[in-house]
Structure 1
Amino acid sequence: MNNSYENSFLSKSIFTTQNIVLANIGWAVLALLYFLLFSAKVPGADGIESRAEWYVIGTNIFEALAYLAASILCLRNWLSPQIVSGRNVWLLIGLGMLSYFVGGIIFGYTEIVLKDEPDVSVGDIFFVLSYLLLGAGMILAVASRRINLEKWQWLIVLAIAVFGSLLAWWISMQQETPSELLVAILNWFYVVSDVVLLIIATTLLLAFWGGRVSQSWRMIAAAAFSLYIADMWFKYAQGPNYQSGEILEVFWVFSGVLFGMGAILEYDASLRRTRRTSGRKRA
């Protein structure tokens, strides 16, 4: 009985909102330091500069654990009946994070273990699924709230949409047109999805600004921006000499961390709201 109580108390004392947020921030800082300190290319036996394999493995671990943790935190929100933004919103986002985690594992296995870099792989199935799920979850969040933005706020959304679209278009024009139809379709799907998520995230950020859960959706918006930066860099850097592990790819880790922080902040805000409501009823 005492052991059960002590374990329960220890669990509750460790997994507090503050500790989880600090753990996420710590993971992001460690990832940034890792990328900054060890991303330099070194000459190999053949004279060609490349990054150490252990470094590439490390970048995959940082990214994978960030998205796995985010999926767990988002699905915890789905299981909570008190969640403010709606359980289905977090179910979709959580499944999107989980799909991105699986896609990253497959991508890393193909690159590191199989020593192959195909234009299309099984991992793309999960990446496509993650974008669809994330988009659906964020659209559902917008639909569940009355959008009544000021004119200047709509101008911000329009400006970011134009800038994001032009940058994506410019980067796409710098690349060679893929000869395979499926590769071309996937490339444009990822580009369009990144821009759409960017627009939805901006709208959500402005719509929830100053509300009960504004902090959580600021994190979600920042996560979408980070995903956009990492994806655009990846597309820009693609070529015969591309190697994984460039500095800007740390934004993939940031994106997973920020999605997780958004989930935990919403969970905490929802619990606080429930306690205040129940307190008024008792009074």
Structure 2
Amino acid sequence: MKKMTVFYIFAALFFIVGAAFHVLPSEGPKVTLYSDIIAVIAAALPVIAFFYVFSYFEKGSKKVILLTFTVGLFLWLLGEVMWLYYEGLMEIDAFPSAADFFWVLGYPTVLAALILQYRTVKVRLETLYVVGISAVILIGGLVVGILLGYPIAVYEEFTVLEKVVSMFYPIADLFLLYTALLITGLYWAGKLGYAWLLIAVGIIFYAVGDLWFAYLEWKEIYPVVWWHPVDFAWIIGDLLVFLGAVKYRISFEELV
């Protein structure tokens, strides 16, 4: 059995078990607690995987980039831990809270790692690819702004902080996705292309989850349910980034 097959099976089983803990128990605070614990474990997987990749390199720019990526993911993990504390243990509305401080701080860190990774590759992307990706991201941003950004901006029940935080995540996700797709294009012809594609698709699921959550908060749906399918979007995102990091390490081992 190939190395990656084991990790694919692990990720599938993790998702199935996690979904069961969401769906099978009767509604109640324990379901929320289970959901938040699973989210913390899922968020820990990419951190562990990127540290696993980081440990492969002895020195150089790649080690710095991977460390930066790991730190950013660790900040997101701290955000999940804080969310678990507020929502799962204290049973209070966790948005916005200290959890958002760590999540927001993690975005520029991860973006910095992606930009550094992009700049280390001395390959010129085809203009058509760059224009195409740019157009998709721009159109996506406009759609999000019109359908969700403006309604949230004029929603009187939200504080200024809630409005800013609600829209920060989807916008920041677009920057991450744009850079990750550019990196995927750089590596696509080689062994690392698939690894970066997994990471990019994981970021897409992060963006879907963040957009969905912003909509649910705007409609005041999320705070009154024990769990919501939006949680699965983030879990899938974590699992894909985890698999991408593992694939990255295995691909490098095969190159030497």
TM-score (norm 1): 0.78
1:134 aligns with 2:110: yes
Give 1:121 shift: 1.3
Q: Deviations over 1:179-200 (max 9, x none)?
A: 6443333334323211111211
Distance 1:232 1:99, change over 3 A: same
Distance in 2 separating the partners of 1:129 and 1:261: 24
Q: CA deviation at 1:102?
A: 1.4
The residue aligned with 1:172 is: 149
Q: Which amino acid aligns with 1:203?
A: L
Once the two structures are TM-superposed, the CA of residue 249 in structure 1 deviates from its matched residue by 2.4
Task: Give the whole-Å Cα distance in 2 for the aligned partners of 1:156 and 1:83.
Answer: 35
Q: Which amino acid aligns with 1:28?
A: F
Out of 129, 153, 156, the residue aligned to residue 129 of structure 2 is: 153
> Within the alignment, does 1:248 sit opposite 2:230 as a pair?
yes
Paired residues for 1:166-245 under 5 Å = 166-169=142-145, 170-175=147-152, 176=155, 180-238=159-217, 239-242=219-222, 243=225, 245=227
Deviates most, 129-138 or 178-187: 178-187
CA–CA distance in structure 2, aligned partners of residues 84 and 244 of structure 1: 46
* Letter matched to residue 138 of structure 2: V
Counterpart contact for 2:137–2:174, Cα < 8 Å: yes
What are the superposed Cα offsets for residues 148-190 of structure 1, whole Å, 9 maximum, x if unpaired?
2223312331232123202321212232156644333333432
Partners of 2:174 and 2:238 lie apart in 1 by 18
Q: Is the 8 A contact 1:222 1:255 kept in 2?
A: yes
State the 1:106 CA deviation: 0.8
Note closer, same or farther for the CA distance 1:203–1:32 as it changes in structure 2 (3 Å cut): farther
C-alpha change, 1:88 and 1:96, in structure 2 (3 Å) is same
- Report the TM-score, using the length of structure 2 for normalisation: 0.86
Change (3 A) 1:121 1:71: same
2:46 paired with 1:67: no
1:264 equivalent in alignment to 2:246: yes
Residues 68 and 109, structure 2, Cα contact 8 Å, conserved in 1 = yes
3-state SS, counterpart of residue 251 of structure 1:
helix
Distance 2:110 2:233 in 1: 17
* Structure 2 spans left out of the alignment, 5+ residues: none
Deviation at 1:147, TM superposition (A): 4.7
Aligned-residue sequence identity (percent) comes to 18
Distance 1:204 1:33, change over 3 A: farther
Cα deviation, residue 265, structure 1: 0.6
The amino acid across from 2:240 in the alignment is L
Separation (CA, whole Å) in 2 of partners of 1:167 and 1:59: 30
Instruction: Report the Cα distance in structure 2 between the residues aligned to 1:194 and 1:139, rounded to whole angstroms.
Output: 14
Q: Return the match for 1:58 from 20, 30, 34.
A: 34
Give yes or no for the alignment of 1:19 onto 2:6.
Answer: yes
- Provide Cα deviations, 1:50-73, integer angstroms capped at 9, x if missing partner: x42222222222221111121011
Structure 1 gap ranges (5+): 1-12, 43-50, 275-283
**What amino acid is the match of 2:10?**
A
Distance change >3 Å, CA 203–CA 111, structure 1 → 2: same
